[in-house]
Amino acid sequence: MAKLSIQDLKKIKENAAKGISLRQEQGRIKVTVHMGTCGIAAGAREVMSTLVEEIAQADRQDIQVVASSCMGMCSSEPNVTVQVEAEEPIIYQKMTANKMRQVFKRHILLGEVQTDFALAKM
């Protein structure tokens, strides 16, 4: 490989920093996918994969994804909680891959709460 210059070093750092971003600071936005048994049965895995893909596509390092256990509301599964720093968490219900995409683009990226899918504010 050719000799590095300081410019190259900076570029490597920028890229590499993305790769280890999860290991250091906590994200500014936290998205929790509730993955109880019934949540998974209702399609939470697909919702989770969609979310992860959207984040990767948007190339955002400040969004933290957490799987958590069920919330005790089987009838509304899959549930997803979106918490933007310092704002009230919003719980979305009966999520699908498509709804997840919409919540990601509108709420997470643009800050518009998608009240149609929202179950409650926590």
Q: Is 36 in the site for other proteins (CB under 8 A)?
A: yes
Q: Is 36 in the site for ligand FES (CB under 6 A)?
A: yes
Beta carbon of residue 100, minimum distance to ligand FES (angstroms, whole number):
17
Amino acid letter, 90: I
Q: Is 119 in the site for ligand FES (CB under 6 A)?
A: no
Beta carbon of residue 60, minimum distance to ligand FES (angstroms, whole number):
27
Distance, in Å, from the CA atom of 15 to the CA atom of 17, rounded to the nearest integer, reads: 5
Q: Is 64 in the site for other proteins (CB under 8 A)?
A: yes
Our CB check for other proteins shows the closer of 22 and 120 to be 22
Residue 65 partner contact from other proteins, ligand FES, none using kind-dependent CB cut-offs of 5 to 8 Å: other proteins
Given a contact cutoff of 8 angstroms between Cβ atoms, the answer to whether 103 and 117 are in contact is: yes
Distance, in Å, from the CA atom of 77 to the CA atom of 53, rounded to the nearest integer, reads: 21
Site residues for other proteins per CB under 8 A: 1, 3-6, 9, 12-13, 15-20, 22-24, 26-27, 32-37, 40, 45, 48-49, 51-53, 55-57, 59, 64-70
